[in-house]
Chains A and B, each alone.
Chain A
Amino acid sequence: MTIDTNAFTLGPLEAGPPCCEPQTVIQVRNLSLHYESQAALDNVSLDIYKGCITALIGPSGCGKTSFLSAINRMTDLIPGCSVDGRILVDNEDIHHPKTDVQSLRRRIGMVFQKPTPFPLSIRRNLALPLNEHGVTQTKEVIVIIKKALQDVGLWDEVCDRLDAPALSLSGGQQQRLCIARALALNPEILLMDEPCSALDPIASGVVEDLICRLQGRYTIVIVTHNLAQARRIANYAAFFWVRERTGQLVEFGRCRHIFESPRDALTAAYVNGNRG
């Protein structure tokens, strides 16, 4: 894929620790998820490693997005959705009554499939969540905004029109703005739900490149339908499959193993394009 290098320039990125020593950040144990009485996920156990990119792959309706939403408890907002099992983030149970959902969601950023900028100015889009989390000093806010926009390569494109409406940006820029908005809160973990699928190929390439560069600094869990993309960017891959409308985890392992020497026949069929 050719990337128009003039389209953006990446800001200075600190190098993160290399992704070789698996250190668990998120432990998912026996996670099951129901919508009303319909099971959407059945008994999933999985470890997510620090600083790595973990791709969730599988056919539509296999529960990848549900799994992702369970990690930052967005599932709370879906009426009729119930979650069983344990999810530990940094060894803390996210369902513990003492866990504050808002600060949990600050630590775990999320990027959606479609770009979702607020109908505010570019600056305000980033400032609003910061203000909400107690960063109110104007100077401090602008420093963080600048850094976040540089991280996503948007600073040079918008630095002279920070007060323009965010909706005036192109689709790819909007998505990068949304990533910057999540990064501004300095999260440890980023959840991405098919962040490239609503973008054109060029913008998609730019965002993909950005995700690669975030590796190491953030723990990234990404849902993608694009197998080639998963192969390009992920360190680990988890393959989900759907049986009787219930999603389950079939195989989890290093990305290369999943794609080149899968243990499960179903995985092999899927990654080779024979199934799904």
Chain B
Amino acid sequence: MQTDRLLTGVLRAGAVLAALVMLLILCFLLLESWPVLTGLSVFRFLTDASWHPLEGAYNLMPMLAGTLLASIGALILAVPLGIASALFIVFFAPLHLASIYKRLIELLAGIPSVVFGFWGLTTLAPLIGEWQPPGASLLAGVLVLTLMILPMITITAYTALAAVPKELLQNASALGLSRWGTVRGVALPAARTGITAGVILAAARALGETMAVLMVAGNVVQYPESVFDPVRTLAANIALEMAYAMGDHRSVLFVSGLLLMLLVMVLSAMAGLLEKRRYA
């Protein structure tokens, strides 16, 4: 009994420490961005003429737009492809092909973002550049992000579809529904919350992704006029400027980190609520 009590004590200490990490991160982000949050008007992030941190111009909006555009573009491409891939694995593929394809997707989920970025930089961007220079552009960023979040969407959609009770599907077939009729009428609605949660998590991942986008998107701070214009995302901006940022500039970078984290936290809270509702 005494050892039990000792053990729970030690474990509890470990758990408390682990839980405190999140608090610590929040504290330090706030601490570092405090000078700017209190010293500067928040509206300056919206209304400053441009992003010239060395001259004290801190307009974050173009980069926020770049971040959102890249993520939305990637979702537009990856959601249909991912759901189609999951449907293929669960309903349409012959058995051995399904397992091979699933393996492929799982392995791709393990490829690091820097490798995707590197491939985009050496292969994708020059290819786009031949067609519409300069190549390093919003489009390249979108494509690389698509590749990165596609496995995630596929795997969550697959899990949700595979969890649809077999009886439901058999019943649908017994009612004379065709394969696509079963999929669209029964399987997809039944798996809807799970798939949505997966898509939201993928969106969070896309918003926070740094390296891949940094390497292919061109990193010019501007509102893009077409998909072939280079853009800079918030995360890429942090990675680019952190090395030499001082004073207010550094604080603004922490503010953008905080902003990024809040965006991602809202999304993952949404996904969490959906998951909870699924099990409720």
Q: Do chains A and B touch in the complex (CB under 8 A)?
A: yes
* Cα–Cα distance between A101 and B1 once the two chains are bound (Å): 9
Residue of B nearest to A100 (CB): B1
Chain A residues whose C-beta falls within 8 Å of the C-beta of B1 in the assembled complex = 100-102
Contact pattern, A 101-141, Cβ under 8 Å of B = 1, otherwise 0: 11000000000000000000000000000000000000000
Contact pattern, B 1-40, Cβ under 8 Å of A = 1, otherwise 0: 1000000000000000000000000000000000000000
Chain B residues whose C-beta falls within 8 Å of the C-beta of A101 in the assembled complex = 1
* Cα–Cα distance between A100 and B2 once the two chains are bound (Å): 11
Pairs A–B under 8 Å by Cβ, sample size 3:
A100-B1, A101-B1, A102-B1
Residue of B nearest to A102 (CB): B1
Chain B: interface secondary structure? loop
Residue of B nearest to A101 (CB): B1
Chain B residues whose C-beta falls within 8 Å of the C-beta of A100 in the assembled complex = 1
Task: Give the interface of B toward A (CB within 8 A).
Answer: 1
* Cα–Cα distance between A102 and B3 once the two chains are bound (Å): 12
Chain A: interface secondary structure? helix
Q: How far is the CB of B8 from chain A (nearest CB, A)?
A: 15
* Cα–Cα distance between A100 and B4 once the two chains are bound (Å): 13
Q: How far is the CB of B7 from chain A (nearest CB, A)?
A: 14
* Cα–Cα distance between A16 and B243 once the two chains are bound (Å): 84
Residue of A nearest to B4 (CB): A102
Q: How far is the CB of A128 from chain B (nearest CB, A)?
A: 15
* Cα–Cα distance between A67 and B254 once the two chains are bound (Å): 62
Q: How far is the CB of A73 from chain B (nearest CB, A)?
A: 13
Chain B residues whose C-beta falls within 8 Å of the C-beta of A102 in the assembled complex = 1
* Cα–Cα distance between A100 and B1 once the two chains are bound (Å): 8
| 3 cross-chain pairs, A with B, having the tightest CB-CB distances, nearest first | A102-B1, A100-B1, A101-B1
Contact pattern, A 74-105, Cβ under 8 Å of B = 1, otherwise 0: 00000000000000000000000000111000
Q: How far is the CB of B53 from chain A (nearest CB, A)?
A: 56
* Cα–Cα distance between A13 and B232 once the two chains are bound (Å): 84
Q: How far is the CB of B81 from chain A (nearest CB, A)?
A: 42
Q: How far is the CB of B1 from chain A (nearest CB, A)?
A: 7
* Cα–Cα distance between A101 and B4 once the two chains are bound (Å): 12
Interface residues of A in 35-89 (CB under 8 A from B): none
Q: How far is the CB of A72 from chain B (nearest CB, A)?
A: 15
Q: How far is the CB of A107 from chain B (nearest CB, A)?
A: 16
* Cα–Cα distance between A243 and B34 once the two chains are bound (Å): 66
Q: How far is the CB of A77 from chain B (nearest CB, A)?
A: 13
Q: How far is the CB of A101 from chain B (nearest CB, A)?
A: 7
Q: How far is the CB of A100 from chain B (nearest CB, A)?
A: 7
Q: How far is the CB of B124 from chain A (nearest CB, A)?
A: 50
* Cα–Cα distance between A99 and B1 once the two chains are bound (Å): 11
* Cα–Cα distance between A4 and B159 once the two chains are bound (Å): 49
Interface residues of A in 16-46 (CB under 8 A from B): none
* Cα–Cα distance between A102 and B2 once the two chains are bound (Å): 11
Q: How far is the CB of B6 from chain A (nearest CB, A)?
A: 15
Q: How far is the CB of B3 from chain A (nearest CB, A)?
A: 10
Q: How far is the CB of B4 from chain A (nearest CB, A)?
A: 9
* Cα–Cα distance between A220 and B1 once the two chains are bound (Å): 27
* Cα–Cα distance between A39 and B1 once the two chains are bound (Å): 29
Q: How far is the CB of B62 from chain A (nearest CB, A)?
A: 55
* Cα–Cα distance between A102 and B1 once the two chains are bound (Å): 8
* Cα–Cα distance between A126 and B153 once the two chains are bound (Å): 48
* Cα–Cα distance between A16 and B1 once the two chains are bound (Å): 34
Q: How far is the CB of A103 from chain B (nearest CB, A)?
A: 10
* Cα–Cα distance between A141 and B252 once the two chains are bound (Å): 69
Q: How far is the CB of A266 from chain B (nearest CB, A)?
A: 41
Q: How far is the CB of B122 from chain A (nearest CB, A)?
A: 50
* Cα–Cα distance between A2 and B54 once the two chains are bound (Å): 95
Q: How far is the CB of B184 from chain A (nearest CB, A)?
A: 43
* Cα–Cα distance between A141 and B1 once the two chains are bound (Å): 23
* Cα–Cα distance between A106 and B203 once the two chains are bound (Å): 55
Q: How far is the CB of A172 from chain B (nearest CB, A)?
A: 34
Q: How far is the CB of B87 from chain A (nearest CB, A)?
A: 38
* Cα–Cα distance between A204 and B133 once the two chains are bound (Å): 81
* Cα–Cα distance between A104 and B1 once the two chains are bound (Å): 13
